Amino acid sequence: MIAREPNDPAWYRGGLWHDGQLIQILGFWFMSWYDVSVGPNLAAYNHVRRTARPEIADQQYAIIAPTLHCAYKCATENTIVGERSVGDARLNYDELTYGWFDRFLKGESKDATIAKWSKVRYYTMGLNKWQSSFTWPPAGAQPVKFYLSSAGKANSLMRDGVLSTAPPAEDRPDAFAYDPSNPVPSYGGNVCCTGNAVTGGAFDQRKMESRADVLVYSTEPLKEGVEVSGPIDVTLYVSSDAPDTDFTAKLVDVYPDGAVYNLDEAIQRMRYRDSYTAAPVWIEKDKVYRVTLRGMTTSNYFAPGHRIRIEISSSNFPRFDRDLNTGGKNFDEANGVVAHNRVHYGPGRESHVVLTVVSDKRLPQTAR
Q: Count how many Cα atoms sit within 13 Å of the Cα of residue 365 in the half-sphere of its side chain.
A: 2
Which pLDDT score, from 0 to 100, does residue 133 have? 96
pTM, entire model: 0.94
Q: What is the DSSP letter of 7?
A: T
Which pLDDT score, from 0 to 100, does residue 177 have? 98
**Burial code of 284-303, b = ≥16 C-beta within 10 A, e = fewer?**
eeeebbebebbbbbbbbbbb
C-alpha 263: how far from its chain's center? 7
Which pLDDT score, from 0 to 100, does residue 362 have? 44
Domains and CATH numbers, the chain: 21-133 (3.40.50.1820), 142-357 (2.60.120.260)
User: Hey, is 201 helix, strand or coil?
Assistant: strand
Which pLDDT score, from 0 to 100, does residue 252 have? 98
Give the sign of the dihedral formed by CA 11, CA 17, CA 19, CA 24. Answer: positive
Which pLDDT score, from 0 to 100, does residue 19 have? 78
Which pLDDT score, from 0 to 100, does residue 364 have? 53
Which pLDDT score, from 0 to 100, does residue 87 have? 97
Which pLDDT score, from 0 to 100, does residue 103 have? 87
Which pLDDT score, from 0 to 100, does residue 61 have? 95
Which residues of the chain fall short of a pLDDT of 50? 361-362, 365-368
Which pLDDT score, from 0 to 100, does residue 195 have? 85
